[in-house]
Copies of this chain bind each other. A is one copy, B any other.
Protein backbone atom coordinates (compact mmCIF):
# COMPACT_ATOMS: atom_id res chain seq x y z
CA UNK A 1 0.00 0.00 0.00
CA UNK A 2 2.89 2.34 0.79
CA UNK A 3 3.86 2.17 -2.90
CA UNK A 4 0.57 3.81 -3.92
CA UNK A 5 1.09 7.57 -3.80
CA UNK A 6 4.68 7.11 -2.59
CA UNK A 7 6.46 10.48 -2.53
CA UNK A 8 9.97 9.05 -2.75
CA UNK A 9 10.81 10.55 0.66
CA UNK A 10 9.48 7.64 2.70
CA UNK A 11 5.87 8.73 2.91
CA UNK A 12 2.74 8.92 0.79
CA UNK A 13 0.49 11.55 -0.79
CA UNK A 14 -2.75 9.63 -1.17
CA UNK A 15 -5.36 12.29 -0.53
CA UNK A 16 -9.05 11.50 -0.32
CA UNK A 17 -10.86 10.67 -3.58
CA UNK A 18 -7.69 11.10 -5.65
CA UNK A 19 -6.55 8.56 -8.27
CA UNK A 20 -4.11 7.27 -5.60
CA UNK A 21 -6.96 6.72 -3.13
CA UNK A 22 -8.76 4.85 -5.94
CA UNK A 23 -5.68 2.73 -6.67
CA UNK A 24 -5.36 1.74 -2.99
CA UNK A 25 -9.04 0.78 -2.83
CA UNK A 26 -8.74 -1.20 -6.09
CA UNK A 27 -5.82 -3.16 -4.69
CA UNK A 28 -7.72 -4.02 -1.50
CA UNK A 29 -10.81 -4.95 -3.55
CA UNK A 30 -8.64 -7.33 -5.57
CA UNK A 31 -7.45 -9.05 -2.38
CA UNK A 32 -11.03 -9.24 -1.08
CA UNK A 33 -12.33 -10.79 -4.32
CA UNK A 34 -9.51 -13.33 -4.33
CA UNK A 35 -10.79 -14.45 -0.92
CA UNK A 36 -14.41 -14.51 -2.06
CA UNK A 37 -15.56 -11.74 0.31
CA UNK A 38 -18.54 -9.54 -0.62
CA UNK A 39 -18.05 -5.83 -1.40
CA UNK A 40 -20.35 -2.84 -0.86
CA UNK A 41 -20.10 0.94 -1.33
CA UNK A 42 -22.34 3.53 0.29
CA UNK A 43 -23.25 6.97 -1.21
CA UNK A 44 -20.24 8.80 0.33
CA UNK A 45 -17.87 6.09 -0.91
CA UNK A 46 -17.33 4.21 2.37
CA UNK A 47 -16.32 0.70 1.34
CA UNK A 48 -17.29 -2.52 3.17
CA UNK A 49 -15.69 -5.96 2.77
CA UNK A 50 -17.92 -8.64 4.25
CA UNK A 51 -17.09 -12.14 5.37
CA UNK A 52 -20.38 -13.89 5.94
CA UNK A 53 -21.33 -15.41 9.29
CA UNK A 54 -23.37 -18.53 10.05
CA UNK A 55 -26.36 -16.40 11.09
CA UNK A 56 -27.46 -14.48 8.00
CA UNK A 57 -29.64 -12.08 10.02
CA UNK A 58 -27.10 -11.18 12.73
CA UNK A 59 -25.67 -7.65 12.72
CA UNK A 60 -22.02 -7.55 11.63
CA UNK A 61 -18.97 -6.78 13.73
CA UNK A 62 -17.23 -3.94 11.88
CA UNK A 63 -13.51 -3.11 12.02
CA UNK A 64 -11.43 -0.80 9.88
CA UNK A 65 -10.07 2.69 9.39
CA UNK A 66 -9.08 4.73 6.27
CA UNK A 67 -6.72 4.57 3.28
CA UNK A 68 -6.49 8.31 2.50
CA UNK A 69 -3.44 10.26 3.73
CA UNK A 70 -2.21 13.74 4.44
CA UNK A 71 -0.41 15.47 1.52
CA UNK A 72 2.89 14.56 3.22
CA UNK A 73 1.56 11.58 5.13
CA UNK A 74 3.11 8.46 6.59
CA UNK A 75 2.73 4.77 5.78
CA UNK A 76 0.76 3.75 8.90
CA UNK A 77 -1.90 6.38 9.66
CA UNK A 78 -5.24 4.74 8.73
CA UNK A 79 -3.90 2.05 6.44
CA UNK A 80 -2.73 0.06 9.47
CA UNK A 81 -6.28 -0.26 10.83
CA UNK A 82 -7.64 -1.35 7.45
CA UNK A 83 -4.97 -3.96 6.82
CA UNK A 84 -5.05 -5.27 10.40
CA UNK A 85 -8.83 -5.77 10.07
CA UNK A 86 -8.39 -7.42 6.68
CA UNK A 87 -5.84 -9.79 8.20
CA UNK A 88 -8.41 -10.78 10.80
CA UNK A 89 -10.67 -11.91 7.93
CA UNK A 90 -7.80 -13.66 6.15
CA UNK A 91 -6.71 -15.38 9.32
CA UNK A 92 -10.24 -16.73 10.00
CA UNK A 93 -10.38 -17.87 6.38
CA UNK A 94 -6.98 -19.55 6.58
CA UNK A 95 -8.00 -21.36 9.75
CA UNK A 96 -11.44 -22.22 8.29
CA UNK A 97 -13.17 -20.70 11.32
CA UNK A 98 -16.83 -19.85 10.85
CA UNK A 99 -18.20 -17.04 13.07
CA UNK A 100 -21.82 -16.61 14.09
CA UNK A 101 -21.92 -12.95 13.00
CA UNK A 102 -20.63 -11.55 9.72
CA UNK A 103 -17.44 -9.49 10.03
CA UNK A 104 -16.92 -6.41 7.88
CA UNK A 105 -13.82 -4.41 7.12
CA UNK A 106 -14.68 -0.76 6.51
CA UNK A 107 -12.63 1.83 4.58
CA UNK A 108 -13.96 5.25 5.56
CA UNK A 109 -13.87 8.03 2.96
CA UNK A 110 -11.79 11.16 3.63
CA UNK A 111 -10.77 10.69 7.22
CA UNK A 112 -7.91 13.17 6.88
CA UNK A 113 -9.90 16.20 5.77
CA UNK A 114 -6.84 17.72 4.13
CA UNK A 115 -8.27 17.87 0.62
CA UNK A 116 -11.98 18.19 1.46
CA UNK A 117 -13.37 19.57 4.73
CA UNK A 118 -14.27 18.34 7.25
CA UNK A 119 -12.11 15.59 8.64
CA UNK A 120 -13.79 12.12 9.23
CA UNK A 121 -16.23 13.01 6.47
CA UNK A 122 -17.20 9.46 5.57
CA UNK A 123 -18.11 8.33 9.10
CA UNK A 124 -19.81 11.67 9.85
CA UNK A 125 -22.09 11.24 6.83
CA UNK A 126 -22.61 7.56 7.69
CA UNK A 127 -23.71 8.52 11.22
CA UNK A 128 -25.96 11.34 9.96
CA UNK A 129 -23.85 14.06 11.62
CA UNK A 130 -23.37 15.85 8.26
CA UNK A 131 -25.91 15.82 5.40
CA UNK A 132 -24.64 13.84 2.39
CA UNK A 133 -25.31 16.77 0.05
CA UNK A 134 -23.15 19.14 2.14
CA UNK A 135 -20.27 16.68 2.14
CA UNK A 136 -20.48 16.12 -1.62
CA UNK A 137 -20.52 19.90 -2.18
CA UNK A 138 -17.24 20.43 -0.28
CA UNK A 139 -14.58 21.81 -2.64
CA UNK A 140 -10.84 21.28 -2.78
CA UNK A 141 -8.41 24.14 -3.52
CA UNK A 142 -8.88 23.67 -7.26
CA UNK A 143 -12.64 24.05 -6.94
CA UNK A 144 -13.37 20.34 -7.52
CA UNK A 145 -16.28 19.09 -5.37
CA UNK A 146 -16.05 15.91 -3.30
CA UNK A 147 -19.00 14.63 -5.35
CA UNK A 148 -17.10 15.11 -8.63
CA UNK A 149 -13.94 13.55 -7.19
CA UNK A 150 -15.92 10.59 -5.82
CA UNK A 151 -17.50 10.00 -9.23
CA UNK A 152 -14.09 10.07 -10.95
CA UNK A 153 -12.64 7.70 -8.38
CA UNK A 154 -15.53 5.23 -8.62
CA UNK A 155 -15.04 5.12 -12.40
CA UNK A 156 -11.58 3.62 -11.63
CA UNK A 157 -13.08 0.81 -9.55
CA UNK A 158 -14.87 -2.41 -10.50
CA UNK A 159 -18.66 -2.16 -10.35
CA UNK A 160 -19.70 -2.74 -6.72
CA UNK A 161 -23.03 -3.32 -4.99
CA UNK A 162 -24.49 -0.24 -3.26
CA UNK A 163 -25.76 -0.08 0.29
CA UNK A 164 -27.47 2.76 2.16
CA UNK A 165 -25.78 5.00 4.74
CA UNK A 166 -25.85 4.09 8.42
CA UNK A 167 -26.56 0.37 8.25
CA UNK A 168 -26.55 -1.12 11.77
CA UNK A 169 -23.61 -2.87 13.37
CA UNK A 170 -23.20 -5.06 16.45
CA UNK A 171 -19.96 -3.30 17.40
CA UNK A 172 -17.08 -1.33 15.88
CA UNK A 173 -13.35 -1.70 16.62
CA UNK A 174 -10.53 0.34 15.10
CA UNK A 175 -6.80 -0.28 15.36
CA UNK A 176 -4.52 2.74 14.83
CA UNK A 177 -1.04 4.04 15.54
CA UNK A 178 -1.18 6.38 18.54
CA UNK A 179 0.16 9.41 16.60
CA UNK A 180 1.45 10.79 19.88
CA UNK A 181 4.29 10.14 22.35
CA UNK A 182 2.42 8.58 25.29
CA UNK A 183 2.85 4.82 24.71
CA UNK A 184 6.47 5.15 23.64
CA UNK A 185 7.22 7.34 26.66
CA UNK A 186 5.60 4.80 29.03
CA UNK A 187 7.23 1.82 27.32
CA UNK A 188 3.85 0.11 26.70
CA UNK A 189 2.80 -1.85 23.66
CA UNK A 190 -1.01 -1.47 23.59
CA UNK A 191 -3.11 1.67 24.18
CA UNK A 192 -6.55 0.92 25.65
CA UNK A 193 -8.46 3.89 24.26
CA UNK A 194 -11.20 5.14 26.58
CA UNK A 195 -12.34 7.96 24.28
CA UNK A 196 -11.40 10.79 21.92
CA UNK A 197 -10.83 14.43 22.75
CA UNK A 198 -13.14 17.06 21.25
CA UNK A 199 -12.33 19.02 18.10
CA UNK A 200 -13.60 22.27 16.63
CA UNK A 201 -12.49 23.54 13.25
CA UNK A 202 -13.04 27.07 11.99
CA UNK A 203 -12.39 28.82 8.68
CA UNK A 204 -11.54 32.52 9.03
CA UNK A 205 -11.67 34.82 6.01
CA UNK A 206 -10.13 38.28 6.30
CA UNK A 207 -10.95 40.75 3.54
CA UNK A 208 -8.95 43.95 3.13
CA UNK A 209 -7.90 45.86 0.03
CA UNK A 210 -5.07 45.23 -2.41
CA UNK A 211 -2.66 48.12 -2.70
CA UNK A 212 0.81 48.93 -3.99
CA UNK A 213 3.48 47.93 -1.48
CA UNK A 214 5.75 50.85 -2.41
CA UNK A 215 3.33 53.74 -2.31
CA UNK A 216 0.64 52.98 0.25
CA UNK A 217 1.35 54.31 3.77
CA UNK A 218 0.68 51.93 6.67
CA UNK A 219 -2.11 54.17 7.94
CA UNK A 220 -3.97 53.90 4.63
CA UNK A 221 -3.62 50.14 4.24
CA UNK A 222 -6.28 47.53 4.78
CA UNK A 223 -3.74 44.73 4.81
CA UNK A 224 -5.48 41.37 5.19
CA UNK A 225 -2.18 39.73 6.19
CA UNK A 226 -1.54 42.20 9.01
CA UNK A 227 -5.08 41.67 10.34
CA UNK A 228 -4.88 37.87 10.06
CA UNK A 229 -1.50 38.01 11.83
CA UNK A 230 -3.03 39.97 14.71
CA UNK A 231 -5.98 37.57 14.95
CA UNK A 232 -3.73 34.51 15.07
CA UNK A 233 -1.61 36.18 17.75
CA UNK A 234 -4.69 36.85 19.88
CA UNK A 235 -5.97 33.28 19.39
CA UNK A 236 -2.58 31.87 20.40
CA UNK A 237 -2.71 33.93 23.63
CA UNK A 238 -6.31 32.80 24.25
CA UNK A 239 -5.41 29.11 23.96
CA UNK A 240 -1.96 29.05 25.61
CA UNK A 241 -2.56 26.98 28.76
CA UNK A 242 0.16 26.29 31.28
CA UNK A 243 -0.70 22.55 31.33
CA UNK A 244 -0.20 22.32 27.54
CA UNK A 245 -3.45 20.37 27.15
CA UNK A 246 -5.17 22.65 24.62
CA UNK A 247 -4.24 21.83 21.02
CA UNK A 248 -4.36 24.98 18.84
CA UNK A 249 -3.07 24.74 15.26
CA UNK A 250 -3.15 26.94 12.18
CA UNK A 251 -2.22 24.41 9.51
CA UNK A 252 -3.61 26.21 6.47
CA UNK A 253 -3.06 29.92 5.86
CA UNK A 254 -3.51 31.30 2.36
CA UNK A 255 -2.64 34.83 1.26
CA UNK A 256 -4.11 36.44 -1.89
CA UNK A 257 -3.05 37.51 -4.43
CA UNK A 258 0.33 36.33 -3.08
CA UNK A 259 2.47 38.86 -4.94
CA UNK A 260 5.54 40.13 -3.04
CA UNK A 261 4.86 43.80 -3.88
CA UNK A 262 1.09 43.90 -3.41
CA UNK A 263 -0.55 44.48 -0.02
CA UNK A 264 -2.70 41.33 0.45
CA UNK A 265 -6.41 41.86 -0.09
CA UNK A 266 -7.53 38.56 1.39
CA UNK A 267 -6.33 35.85 3.77
CA UNK A 268 -8.13 32.61 4.54
CA UNK A 269 -6.95 30.34 7.32
CA UNK A 270 -8.16 27.37 9.32
CA UNK A 271 -8.11 26.83 13.07
CA UNK A 272 -7.92 23.34 14.58
CA UNK A 273 -8.78 23.44 18.29
CA UNK A 274 -8.94 20.38 20.57
CA UNK A 275 -9.44 19.53 24.23
CA UNK A 276 -10.46 16.40 26.14
CA UNK A 277 -12.93 18.38 28.30
CA UNK A 278 -16.23 19.34 26.66
CA UNK A 279 -16.71 22.46 28.79
CA UNK A 280 -13.25 23.86 28.12
CA UNK A 281 -13.57 23.17 24.40
CA UNK A 282 -16.98 24.88 24.29
CA UNK A 283 -15.71 27.94 26.20
CA UNK A 284 -12.51 28.41 24.14
CA UNK A 285 -14.19 27.67 20.82
CA UNK A 286 -17.01 30.11 21.51
CA UNK A 287 -14.43 32.85 22.15
CA UNK A 288 -12.88 32.36 18.69
CA UNK A 289 -15.65 34.41 17.08
CA UNK A 290 -15.28 37.47 19.33
CA UNK A 291 -11.47 37.30 19.24
CA UNK A 292 -11.49 37.41 15.44
CA UNK A 293 -13.96 40.31 15.39
CA UNK A 294 -12.03 42.30 18.02
CA UNK A 295 -8.87 42.31 15.86
CA UNK A 296 -10.60 42.69 12.48
CA UNK A 297 -10.26 46.46 11.91
CA UNK A 298 -9.57 47.89 9.33
CA UNK A 299 -10.51 44.70 7.45
CA UNK A 300 -13.69 42.64 7.44
CA UNK A 301 -13.63 39.18 8.99
CA UNK A 302 -15.91 36.17 8.59
CA UNK A 303 -15.65 33.12 10.85
CA UNK A 304 -17.33 29.86 9.96
CA UNK A 305 -17.33 26.83 12.22
CA UNK A 306 -16.75 23.77 10.04
CA UNK A 307 -16.88 21.12 12.74
CA UNK A 308 -17.77 20.88 16.41
CA UNK A 309 -17.12 17.36 17.52
CA UNK A 310 -17.54 16.94 21.28
CA UNK A 311 -15.25 14.67 23.31
CA UNK A 312 -16.42 11.05 23.19
CA UNK A 313 -16.19 8.30 25.82
CA UNK A 314 -16.30 4.75 24.50
CA UNK A 315 -18.65 2.11 25.93
CA UNK A 316 -16.84 0.84 29.07
CA UNK A 317 -17.62 -2.78 28.13
CA UNK A 318 -15.73 -2.29 24.85
CA UNK A 319 -12.83 -0.66 26.67
CA UNK A 320 -12.76 -3.64 29.03
CA UNK A 321 -12.77 -6.09 26.09
CA UNK A 322 -9.65 -4.45 24.63
CA UNK A 323 -7.96 -4.41 28.05
CA UNK A 324 -8.81 -8.09 28.65
CA UNK A 325 -7.58 -9.14 25.21
CA UNK A 326 -4.23 -7.37 25.74
CA UNK A 327 -3.98 -9.02 29.16
CA UNK A 328 -4.77 -12.51 27.78
CA UNK A 329 -2.07 -12.04 25.12
CA UNK A 330 0.46 -10.97 27.77
CA UNK A 331 0.97 -7.50 26.25
CA UNK A 332 1.84 -4.40 28.30
CA UNK A 333 -0.86 -1.74 28.03
CA UNK A 334 -2.01 1.71 29.15
CA UNK A 335 -5.45 3.34 29.34
CA UNK A 336 -5.49 6.60 27.41
CA UNK A 337 -7.62 9.24 25.66
CA UNK A 338 -6.94 9.69 21.95
CA UNK A 339 -5.51 13.08 21.02
CA UNK A 340 -6.27 12.51 17.35
CA UNK A 341 -9.80 12.21 16.08
CA UNK A 342 -10.91 9.01 14.37
CA UNK A 343 -13.92 7.57 12.59
CA UNK A 344 -14.57 5.62 15.79
CA UNK A 345 -15.89 8.90 17.21
CA UNK A 346 -18.98 8.81 15.01
CA UNK A 347 -19.38 5.04 15.32
CA UNK A 348 -19.53 5.43 19.12
CA UNK A 349 -22.92 7.10 18.68
CA UNK A 350 -24.27 4.13 16.70
CA UNK A 351 -22.97 1.00 18.41
CA UNK A 352 -20.53 -0.16 21.14
CA UNK A 353 -17.15 1.07 19.93
CA UNK A 354 -13.53 0.60 20.95
CA UNK A 355 -10.02 1.35 19.72
CA UNK A 356 -6.61 -0.31 19.96
CA UNK A 357 -3.49 1.88 19.79
CA UNK A 358 0.09 0.87 19.09
CA UNK A 359 3.13 3.15 19.61
CA UNK A 360 4.77 5.06 16.77
CA UNK A 361 8.36 6.28 16.84
CA UNK A 362 8.81 9.65 18.53
CA UNK A 363 5.04 10.10 18.51
CA UNK A 364 5.50 11.43 14.98
CA UNK A 365 2.57 11.29 12.57
CA UNK A 366 1.19 13.42 9.71
CA UNK A 367 4.81 13.31 8.60
CA UNK A 368 6.59 11.21 6.00
CA UNK A 369 8.98 9.84 8.62
CA UNK A 370 6.10 8.24 10.58
CA UNK A 371 7.17 4.73 11.64
CA UNK A 372 5.92 1.88 13.83
CA UNK A 373 7.74 -1.32 14.82
CA UNK A 374 6.52 -4.52 13.10
CA UNK A 375 6.23 -6.33 16.44
CA UNK A 376 4.00 -3.53 17.85
CA UNK A 377 1.83 -3.59 14.73
CA UNK A 378 1.51 -7.37 15.02
CA UNK A 379 0.61 -7.09 18.72
CA UNK A 380 -2.13 -4.58 17.89
CA UNK A 381 -3.50 -6.85 15.16
CA UNK A 382 -3.56 -9.74 17.64
CA UNK A 383 -5.62 -7.69 20.11
CA UNK A 384 -7.96 -6.60 17.30
CA UNK A 385 -8.35 -10.22 16.21
CA UNK A 386 -9.21 -11.37 19.75
CA UNK A 387 -11.80 -8.64 20.26
CA UNK A 388 -13.41 -9.07 16.83
CA UNK A 389 -13.58 -12.86 17.08
CA UNK A 390 -15.15 -12.63 20.57
CA UNK A 391 -17.75 -10.14 19.35
CA UNK A 392 -18.50 -12.20 16.26
CA UNK A 393 -19.19 -15.24 18.41
CA UNK A 394 -21.94 -13.44 20.38
User: Could you say which residues of chain B place their CB within 8 Å of the CB of A249?
Assistant: 213, 223, 260-263
Query: Is the pair A252, B247 in contact by a Cβ cutoff of 8 Å?
Result: no
- The residue from B244, B251, B256 contacting A259, defined by CB atoms under 8 A apart: B251
Query: Is the pair A366, B212 in contact by a Cβ cutoff of 8 Å?
Result: yes
User: Could you say which residues of chain B place their CB within 8 Å of the CB of A218?
Assistant: 240, 244, 247-248
Interface centre among A218, A250, A259, by most chain B C-beta atoms within 10 angstroms, is A259
Instruction: State A72–B265 Cα separation when bound (angstroms).
Output: 10
Interface string of A346-374 (1 = CB under 8 A from B): 00000000000000000111111000000
Decide: A259 near B180, CB < 8 A? Known: A213-B251, A264-B251: no
User: Could you say which residues of chain B place their CB within 8 Å of the CB of A253?
Assistant: 225, 253, 255, 258
Query: Is the pair B262, A258 in contact by a Cβ cutoff of 8 Å?
Result: no
Instruction: State A12–B226 Cα separation when bound (angstroms).
Output: 25
Instruction: State A112–B258 Cα separation when bound (angstroms).
Output: 12
A199: interface (CB < 8 Å): yes
A197: interface (CB < 8 Å): yes
Interchain nearest-CB distance for A134 vs B (Å): 17
User: Could you say which residues of chain B place their CB within 8 Å of the CB of A181?
Assistant: 215-216, 220
Interchain nearest-CB distance for A338 vs B (Å): 8
User: Could you say which residues of chain B place their CB within 8 Å of the CB of A340?
Assistant: 212, 214-215
Query: Is the pair A244, B265 in contact by a Cβ cutoff of 8 Å?
Result: no
Query: Is the pair B265, A112 in contact by a Cβ cutoff of 8 Å?
Result: no
A324: interface (CB < 8 Å): no
Interface string of A190-215 (1 = CB under 8 A from B): 00000001010100000001111111
Q: Which residue of B lies closest to A260 (CB)?
A: B270
User: Could you say which residues of chain B place their CB within 8 Å of the CB of A180?
Assistant: 212, 214-216
Interchain nearest-CB distance for A268 vs B (Å): 11
Select the stretch in A27-35, A228-236, A386-394 that faces chain B.
Answer: A228-236
Interface centre among A199, A220, A251, A339, by most chain B C-beta atoms within 10 angstroms, is A251
Interface centre among A197, A261, A262, by most chain B C-beta atoms within 10 angstroms, is A261
Q: Which residue of B lies closest to A199 (CB)?
A: B214
User: Could you say which residues of chain B place their CB within 8 Å of the CB of A236?
Assistant: 226, 229
Query: Is the pair B220, A261 in contact by a Cβ cutoff of 8 Å?
Result: no
- The residue from B201, B209, B229 contacting A232, defined by CB atoms under 8 A apart: B229
User: Could you say which residues of chain B place their CB within 8 Å of the CB of A110?
Assistant: none
Instruction: State A201–B368 Cα separation when bound (angstroms).
Output: 32
Decide: A201 near B366, CB < 8 A? Known: A213-B249, A341-B214: no
Interface centre among A220, A236, A258, by most chain B C-beta atoms within 10 angstroms, is A258
A155: interface (CB < 8 Å): no
Instruction: State A261–B263 Cα separation when bound (angstroms).
Output: 28
Interchain nearest-CB distance for A177 vs B (Å): 10
Interchain nearest-CB distance for A119 vs B (Å): 6
A96: interface (CB < 8 Å): no
- The residue from B213, B220, B366 contacting A272, defined by CB atoms under 8 A apart: B213
Q: Can you identify 20 A-B contacts, CB atoms within 8 angstroms?
A: A70-B257, A70-B261, A72-B210, A72-B257, A112-B261, A197-B214, A201-B261, A210-B366, A212-B366, A213-B247, A213-B251, A214-B338, A218-B240, A251-B263, A252-B260, A253-B258, A260-B270, A261-B272, A263-B366, A265-B367
Please give 9 more A-B residue pairs, beta carbons under 8 A apart, in addition to A215-B338, A219-B244.
A70-B210, A112-B259, A179-B212, A179-B215, A209-B364, A213-B249, A217-B244, A251-B259, A261-B272
Query: Nearest 9 A-B pairs (CB), nearest first?
Result: A180-B215, A215-B339, A114-B259, A213-B249, A260-B270, A214-B340, A210-B367, A262-B366, A71-B257
